[in-house]
Structure 1
Amino acid sequence: MPQPLVSIICLCYNHERFLREALDSVLAQTYPSLEILIVDDCSTDNSVRIIREYVRAHPQIRFISTGKNLGNTKAFNIGWRASQGQFILDFATDDVLLPGRVAQQVQQFQKLPPDFGVVYSDAAYISDESAHLYFHSEKYKAAPDGDVFAEVLGRYFICPPTMLIRREVFEELHGYDEGLAYEDFDFWVRSARKYKYAYLPEITTQRRLHHSSLSSSWYRKGNQLLASTVVVCRRAAALVQTERERDALARRLKYEARHAYLTGNFTEAAQLLQLLEQTTGTPLLYRFIRQLNRRRIDLGFLRRLYNRLRYRQ
């Protein structure tokens, strides 16, 4: 019986330093039925030269150039729409797949009914120099299975590069939302409303943490990441069906509104606080924050002090 085809969409943008290790990890997969597509989002370093070298040595690899820099969501959508696999793996070429990654997750899928759309796993975080930092499960406890909609509203617990996804999920969602600055939260909200998730308690992936990572600039004033979070929270509010889900969304809104206010993103803070009021009402503390936010009173030093004490930043 033939094994289902898995499409690995390798997204590259200026990953010259890490690209060989990443592509070698794809080629080292023990799972035999693979489709490998490399999508380069108009890199300005030597990434394309390295990619062409791999394509010459491994003709099974397909190379797609976006032609101009489009960003992750658009570049990925080009890749998955050009693919044929029953399962899709979104792989950034600064990360590393462990050899049994695909085989383990396909095996997990084969034990599950078709309403499970995503299998995710544990991961090891590594530095720019490939030194081990910590395991995802050490920092983010209790990985749930099944209906995870309320969980994804309320907290972060999925390591994004560990996901293997049924093709039908992307077809249902029409891929990532290209109007957003990042894809993860929106994908979780929209997919988890209809599909179940399964957790594989194995280390399958090494995720690289950069000194200047996307998350480090999340609440920088004027950053489009936070504006995208507001869009997704509004979308989530239209999808909630139970009291538990509303409470989970309220927890997310409080967290995001608090950080938006304390980083001077007053417009986004106001939008999040308004959505909180519509969702469950506004507790006393957040009514106070709303007043401070309206007057644009800068208390950002409190967040900076907290980070300095907790993280020694």
Structure 2
Amino acid sequence: MQNFPLVSVICLAYNHEAYVVEALESVLNQSYPNIELLIADDCSSDASVTVIENWLQHHPTILFFSNKKNLGNTKTFNTVAKHAKGDYIIDLAADDVLLPDCVSRQITAFQNSKYPNLGIVYGNLIQIDEAGSYLNDYYTAEDTPESGNIYKMVIGRTTKICSVSSMVKKTVFETIGYYDENLAYEDLDLWIRASRVFDFEYIPEILVKKRELPTSLSAHFTKKNSKKSKRLNQSTYQILKKAFELNRTKEEHKALLGRIRFELYKFITSRNFVLTGKLLLLEMKVRWKSIM
């Protein structure tokens, strides 16, 4: 369909039995008419698979991938993405909810953009609790989400990208590669690599509801002596090393120093002292490049 390009929504579930149906229904309830839904469960230990299979009895044409062992988000997404036929891709966690006009607004942004090299659009969201009650908006009046060439702002943390409300043009993945399967989380690495090559555009609208749970990744970065925090922070270190290699100017190295200082706090708080030492060495290299 020329005016309605196909959009692939990849919904990833892991122990989301209480929320997955709401997430799936939010995809079917989109005002946009041309959507392909693909579902994956990453070997949940709860009843997520049963809940999904029961829901699929009413939607038998939808593809469902059920991992026999836990592979992690990055590898699971990449596996499913190979089956996606859409020109645009949304990575939807099974505890989040797309608002009815989310996809329409994102496609309109792509089609009407002033940026010829646009690769990713993203909007605002509201954060909700386990029961679905409102907590806060992701972006407030004090925030200034950026559009265009935002590489330096991403690596320097002078802007933050709302990954949950984003849509990615498939050619972005085809150009820079899909998620790095060696990482414990994917969004920062994707934003850095993508913004080096493509423009971004912010949509000043609420597009998604993001559920904040005790099991959310963001709650684990600063946990003391935690294996999970160690893996997350190790991934951050690898991402920052990549950014160092991608940088081209002194100004970009100076921007990266701001990000490194921010991440150092997490490393120290979680008592990942070996990683802290490695990050301090990287900071020295970046600082040297920023003045030479």
* Shift >2 Å, 4+ stretches: 219-222
Matched, 1:43 2:50: no
If asked which structure has higher relative contact order (CA below 8 Å, sep 6+), I would say: 2
Distance 2:103 2:161 in 1: 17
Specify the code of the residue in structure 1 equivalent to 2:245. A
Choose which of 244, 247, 256 in structure 1 pairs with 2:251.
244
Conservation of the 8 A alpha-carbon contact between 1:11 and 1:91: yes
Deviation at 1:260, TM superposition (A): 1.6
Identify unmatched segments of 5+ residues in structure 2: none
Please give the residue correspondences for 1:163-174 in structure 2 after superposition, counting only pairs within 5 Å: 163-174=166-177
Distance 1:3 1:175 in 2: 24
After superposition, give the CA deviation of every residue in 1:127-155 in whole Å (9 maximum; x if it has no partner): 01101000011287110000111111121
Matched, 1:157 2:160: yes
Q: How many residue pairs were aligned?
A: 282
Distance 1:53 1:203 in 2: 31
Distance 1:254 1:137 in 2: 23
After superposition, give the CA deviation of every residue in 1:129-185 in whole Å (9 maximum; x if it has no partner): 101000011287110000111111121611211110000111123210000111111
Specify the code of the residue in structure 1 equivalent to 2:249. T
Distance 1:6 1:216 in 2: 31
Specify the code of the residue in structure 1 equivalent to 2:85. Q
Larger Rg: 1
Deviation at 1:281, TM superposition (A): 4.5
Deviation at 1:52, TM superposition (A): 1.5
Deviation at 1:48, TM superposition (A): 1.3
Identity %: 39
Give me the TM-score of the superposition, normalised by structure 2: 0.92
Specify the code of the residue in structure 2 equivalent to 1:180. L
Please state whether the residue corresponding to 2:39 is helix, strand or coil: strand
Conservation of the 8 A alpha-carbon contact between 1:39 and 1:66: yes
Partner in structure 2 of residue 84 of structure 1: 85
Deviation at 1:256, TM superposition (A): 1.5
Specify the code of the residue in structure 1 equivalent to 2:74. T
Please state whether the residue corresponding to 1:176 is helix, strand or coil: coil
Conservation of the 8 A alpha-carbon contact between 1:219 and 1:260: yes
Deviation at 1:114, TM superposition (A): 4.3
Identify unmatched segments of 5+ residues in structure 1: 283-313
Please state whether the residue corresponding to 2:140 is helix, strand or coil: helix
Specify the code of the residue in structure 2 equivalent to 1:55. L
